[in-house]
Amino acid sequence: MSVLEIRVEGMGFWAPGWPDWNAARAGLRGEGQADPAVVKPSPTSLAAAERRRAPLPVLLACEIAAQACVASARAADALPSVFVSTHGDLVITDYMCSTLASAPRELSPIRFHNSVHNAPAGCWTIAAHCHAASTSISSWHASFAIALFEAAVQAIADDTPVLLSAYDAESPGPLAEVSPASTLFGVAMVIAPCAGSRPDLRLRLQPSSAGARLSPALPADFQALASTNPMAAQSLPLLAAIAAGAGGVIELAAGDQTTLGVELCA
Amino acid sequence: MPDLIEPICITAYTATSALGRGLADHLAALRARRSGLQANDFTNEPLACAIGRVEGLERAALPDGHEAYECRNNRLAWLAIEADGFHEQARAAIARYGADRVALLVATSTSSIGATEEAYAQLDGERMPMALRRPEVHTPHSLGIFLSHLLGTRGPCLTTATACSSSAKIFAKAERMIRLGVVDAAILAGVDTLCGSVIFGFNSLELVAPEPCRPFDERRRGISIGEAAGFALVERKAPAAAPRLIGWGESSDAHHMSTPHPQGLGARLALEDALARAGIAAAQVDYINLHGTATPKNDEVEAGVIATAFNETTRASSSKGWTGHTLGAAGILESVISLLAIEHGLVPGTLNCEQLDPVCGPQVTLQNESRDVRIALSNSFGFGGSNCTLAFARGDCA
């Protein structure tokens, strides 16, 4: 099988000004405005104490994951999950590397255990009481496409709905130059195998063609997100097409010479 | 319970660690019970502990044309892939199937953060020094970027970073992709290198032993951190003699970020799923390479799970007294040790364990044993409660 057919059962979304997928979908269609009051994700799925002290990528990834679960009407405690980030938590990387350069013995144990790439997945599975498999991956600028592919492989291979949570947070200090990101952005999906029903998406990993299709133009607010957050840049072309509700094929970068063709089955 | 899976073939594998470069060095050190652990001479700020350091990394520059990826972690990958002819076998598989039909699934916990640490130690004002202003070494996917350029694969390429279960989980990913037919083969790589983040990080959690680690010893005081790289080539079909991956299980503890579930719930779920996918009973398992980190809690919980699930004919041990805990590389390094156990009929004991914790059942083996190993398991558990158990079989037993 070289084509993976999946259904999208629910979406989650968070970016400054855009608190959920309904708002983002309207904005992507040019029908809604950003809400200036939306400045920080605050997932009610986390315990209050956890919500106060959790790093921003954890808050972001858990907020969008919870939204997608609710939208799909799937129980969060039963879903295997794929978490993906281009950069991981660069605020903690900046803290770790600064502290190591000055006072290595003063490293904070809490910040160390939150430094692992799977910290959001760990916090999510704890909050959701979920014992199912969870993975945390990165594929640099191909992260979104490859994670969508990996989630689809898992959904079809194990005949189960799968939660995908894709996010990037801000890049501080000296890291900003080599790993640029200056805003928060996250998108989540619960995807499922088709089981005989009509698919929403057909995924095909293929060599990049010279004449790759152009991405649809994004509204100005979303273009700004795409230019300031790598996960926004990687995912918004597909999200805009989903919001538009039309058919067609979107090509997402899936590596240097590889593209993920995503056919939207209108 | 998950469905039975069709075994996939492991047609080449290798490892480089503190025990040496390639399979022969590992087998010799296991047989001679010679640990690779040494006093910490890695950190600038002294810290009294043992480390598993790979010799010669400082001199092992990357090949021409790959300067952008220079860092300790990618150097270890380069040193390791050249051992046991793995590089040639990987290239032959890519030529055989086509570059777009081979997945490149890599795993690491800290990737090349050592290069980021180095940059912060010599900041040029607010900027990284020019020589380290290379985006390719400040990303979790650095290893994948380097290896995909080295090998020229064009199939799915991703980095799994689930702390200490990372390089076990890539075997499961490979099996799923091969089963669905999206690829015909996968090159698996797990690489983690020594860096300040993990040595002082685990130290901050009071999980680093002052002496070489003593898995399952009642006096154990924590881990010794090591560095390692492991590679495996997996394919759908191969000659009968090739060992097989026959099962895998993945689970989440859903308990705590850095402490295992007290009753080992996640570990048990991963074990049960691996046995179910392999279609075997616990009694058929000859050897288990345990996670066995030598932290008080991990070993207590893991020993409890093993004592309950297996009868006394199954042998179980931790090889971390030889290599140290190689974190994101542990899953594949210990898979390689499990494959050596299968190939050579060698059950490694538990080096450095002298006073076995009474919580252990009769399965935990201190001395090396010679015996037929037809089926072996490898356990890997990580921060965030991420668990993975792999099941391997000798070619004629799959």
pLDDT tens digits in sequence order for chain A, 266 residues long: 589 999 999 999 999 999 999 999 999 999 999 999 999 999 999 999 989 999 999 999 999 999 999 999 999 999 999 999 999 999 999 999 999 999 999 999 999 999 999 999 999 999 999 999 999 999 999 999 999 999 999 999 999 999 999 999 999 999 999 999 999 999 999 999 998 899 999 999 998 876 555 567 899 999 999 999 999 999 999 999 999 998 999 999 999 889 999 999 97
B104 and B145 in contact (C-beta within 8 Å)?
A: no
Asked whether residue B3 is assigned to any structural domain, the reply reads: no
* Strand runs labelled E in chain B: 8-17, 20-21, 37-39, 50-52, 102-107, 157-160, 185-192, 225-226, 228-235, 244-252, 287-289, 315-317, 346-347, 369-370, 375-382, 386-393
Quote the CA–CA distance of B3 and B366 in Å, as a whole number: 35
- List the single residue in B127, B154, B182 with the smallest CB-CB distance to A1: B182
- List the single residue in B145, B182, B205 with the smallest CB-CB distance to A109: B205
DSSP H or E segment with residue A167: strand A162-168
> What are the domain boundaries of chain A?
7-196
Nearest chain A Cα distance for residue B273, angstroms: 11
Neighbouring-strand partners of residue A252: A260
Lowest mean pLDDT among A256-260, B12-16, B279-283, B375-379: A256-260
Residue (of B278, B252, B100, B293) closest to B186 by Cα position: B100
Asked whether residue B2 is assigned to any structural domain, the reply reads: no
Quote the CA–CA distance of A52 and A50 in Å, as a whole number: 5
Contact assignment for A133 to B250 by CB distance below 8 Å: yes
Q: Considering the candidates B49, B157, B164, B388, report the single residue annotated as catalytic.
A: B164
Task: List, in order, residues 6 or more apart from A210 with CB less than 8 Å away.
Answer: none
pLDDT at B273: 98
Backbone phi, then psi, for B371, in 5-degree steps?
A: -165, 160
Q: Considering the candidates B26, B87, B261, B291, report the single residue annotated as catalytic.
A: B291
Contact assignment for B139 to A116 by CB distance below 8 Å: no
Asked whether residue B379 is assigned to any structural domain, the reply reads: yes
Of residues A49 and B386, more confidence is placed in B386
pLDDT at A211: 58
Asked whether residue B329 is assigned to any structural domain, the reply reads: yes
Report DSSP state, residue B55.
Answer: T
- Residue B255 designated active-site: no
Asked whether residue B17 is assigned to any structural domain, the reply reads: yes
pLDDT at A214: 58
> The tokens of B268 are what?
């048990």
ipTM score over 0.85, yes or no: yes
Domain containing residue B48: 8-397
With the C-alpha atoms ordered B253, B255, B259, B260, is the resulting torsion angle positive or negative?
negative
pLDDT tens, position by position, B158-179:
999 999 999 999 999 999 999 9
Quote the CA–CA distance of A237 and A117 in Å, as a whole number: 25
- Residue B49 designated active-site: no
| Chain A residues within 8 A of B172 when measuring between CB atoms | 133
β-strands B315-317, B228-235 pairing? unpaired
Banded pLDDT at B249 (limits 50, 70, 90): very high
Report DSSP state, residue A46.
Answer: S
- List the single residue in B157, B179, B203 with the smallest CB-CB distance to A157: B179
> The tokens of B100 are what?
């777009």
Mean model confidence pLDDT for chain B = 97
pLDDT tens, position by position, B90-147:
999 999 999 999 999 999 999 999 999 999 999 999 999 999 999 999 999 999 999 9
Q: What's the one-letter identity of residue A245?
A: G
B377 and B338 in contact (C-beta within 8 Å)?
A: yes
Nearest CA in chain B to A138: B159
Quote the CA–CA distance of A261 and A215 in Å, as a whole number: 12
Asked whether residue B1 is assigned to any structural domain, the reply reads: no
Contacts A–B by Cβ distance under 8 A? 226
Q: Which SS3 state, helix, strand or coil, does residue A256 take?
A: coil
Quote the CA–CA distance of B313 and B80 in Å, as a whole number: 35
Give the DSSP letter string of B151-180: H---S-EEEE--GGGHHHHHHHHHHHHHHH
Q: Considering the candidates B325, B360, B388, B397, report the single residue annotated as catalytic.
A: B325
Averaged pLDDT for residues B271-277: 98
Give the DSSP letter string of A13-34: EEBTTB-SHHHHHHHHTT----
Number of folded domains that form chain B: 1
As a whole-number percent, the residues of chain B with pLDDT over 90 amount to: 97
Backbone phi, then psi, for B379, in 5-degree steps?
A: -100, 135
Mutate to test the interface with A, among B105, B159, B255, B389 (most CBs of A within 10 A): B159
Q: What pTM value is reported for the model? A: 0.98
Where residue B278 sits, what CATH number does that domain have?
3.40.47.10
Say which CATH superfamily domain A7-196 falls into.
Answer: Thiolase/Chalcone synthase (3.40.47.10)
Taking only Cα atoms into account, the Rg of chain A, rounded to an integer number of angstroms, comes to 18
pLDDT at A207: 87
Quote the CA–CA distance of B364 and B357 in Å, as a whole number: 10
Angle made by CA atoms B286, B2, A156, in degrees to the nearest 5: 130
DSSP H or E segment with residue A156: helix A143-157
- List the single residue in A112, A114, A133 with the smallest CB-CB distance to B252: A133
Contact assignment for B135 to A179 by CB distance below 8 Å: yes
